[in-house]
Amino acid sequence: MKRREFLVAGVFSVTAAAAFPALAHDEHIPDYKMPEEYLPREVRLKTRFEPFEVHVDPGQFALYWTLPNNRAIRYSVGIGRPGLYHAGEFFVGAKRKWPSWRPTVSMIAREPQNYGRLADGMPGGINNPLGARALYLYQPGRGDTYLRIHGTNSPGTIGRRVSNGCARLVNDQITDLYERVPLDTRVVLHPIT
């Protein structure tokens, strides 16, 4: 399947703001002033997917939470830098609010100047790289892949290839997605085409 085949056929709702007048909110999260094209919106998909799955389209910097009747909620995301994005099938093996974070061994080896001082990790909080919420991606037989769908307090990283492999949403949007996605949900990170 070519990537273009599963993209949005048209906006199903009137506007992003009308579709989502208020995202799930945490009093510790600031409101992010995102351009309208980066706001969540309900869309109709060209390709049929099972409802209640997560699909990441790296070419569009989009994450889709699929719904019945070939609809989805589209969120804008930042994805892995070149060579660090990993396509595949996963499932949500854990969920955390205000998760702690520790760089992986490969992150420290790749960029010791940035990550070496953080080898012991850091507690959850607004400045934590995983943001307000995180969905932990697992694979059968492998367990935790160290890939996450998580929050960020850096809106300028959305719509860009900036991460060490994870998909990131601004904190108010990951909080909304987090409430929708249960454990064991199927997650597909589609290939870059």
Q: Could you list the active site residues?
A: 150, 166
Q: What is the DSSP secondary structure assignment for residue 101, as one 8-state letter?
A: B
140-147: long-range contacts, CB 8 A cutoff, minimum separation 24: 140/91, 143/93, 144/93, 144/94, 145/86, 145/90, 146/104, 147/86, 147/90, 147/189
174 C-beta neighbours (distance < 10 Å), count: 30
Taking phi first (over 0 means left), then psi (-120 to 50 degrees means alpha), and beta for anything else, what does residue 98 get? left
